């Protein structure tokens, strides 16, 4: 659960910083490019951690090349930036998949504990069964809770990445 929460918070901050849309920044870039101040526009692009700035900077570096090469360079850079945003997302997916399984494994151990206690005491008393049931329910609940948090975080963060990509 701590790993899931860590990755959710870390990715939230990174994606928020990289995917930020700043209309003032964008209008300033357009203004610098229209005034043919390419070097200043490049510097301005590198000042902010925005994905848009990195992609535009690559395009500006290739400004004397044919349009197709500029577009290719910008597409390559955008894929690299998307990859940076998606970094560590696989860990959330793994946690979301494995946490419920670990909870169910604990459930199996709880059931084994119930049958072991019954075999040792030869008694079907509720006290004999309740310890194993308690263990079983705690493990199942904890595994599902961690899985739900990780799964939700995974999809919310993917939505934010998709929004940044569209922008």
If pLDDT is split at 50, 70 and 90, which confidence band does 8 have? Answer: very high
Tell me the C-alpha distance between 96 and 149, whole Å.
8
Q: Which residue has the higher pLDDT, 134 or 154?
A: 154
Determine the pLDDT at residue 131: 79
pLDDT, averaged across the chain: 89
119 CB-contact burial (10 Å; exposed 0-12 / middle 13-18 / buried 19+): exposed
Distance CA 35, CA 29 (A): 10
pLDDT for 110: 86
Residue 5's pLDDT band, with cuts at 50, 70 and 90, is very high
The pLDDT value given to residue 27: 86
Range of weakest confidence among 21-25, 30-34, 137-141: 21-25
For the record, the structure tokens of 158 come out as: 């993917």
pLDDT digits (tens, 9 = 90+) for 80-110: 999 999 998 999 999 999 999 999 998 898 8
């Amino acid at each position: 659960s701590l790993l899931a929460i860590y990755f959710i918070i870390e990715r939230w901050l990174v994606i928020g910083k990289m995917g930020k849309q700043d209309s003032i920044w964008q209008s300033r870039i357009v203004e610098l490019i229209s005034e043919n101040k390419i070097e200043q526009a490049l510097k301005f692009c590198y000042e902010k951690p925005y994905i848009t700035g990195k992609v535009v900077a690559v395009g500006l570096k290739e400004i004397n090349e044919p349009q197709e090469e500029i577009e290719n360079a910008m597409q390559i850079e955008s894929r690299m930036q998307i990859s940076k945003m998606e970094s560590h997302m696989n860990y959330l997916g793994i946690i979301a998949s494995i946490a419920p399984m670990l909870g169910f494994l604990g459930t199996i151990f709880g059931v084994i504990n119930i049958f072991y206690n019954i075999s040792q005491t030869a008694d079907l008393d509720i006290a004999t069964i309740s310890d194993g049931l308690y263990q079983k329910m705690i493990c199942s609940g904890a595994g599902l809770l961690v899985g739900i948090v990780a799964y939700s975080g995974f999809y919310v963060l993917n939505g934010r990445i998709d929004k940044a990509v569209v922008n």
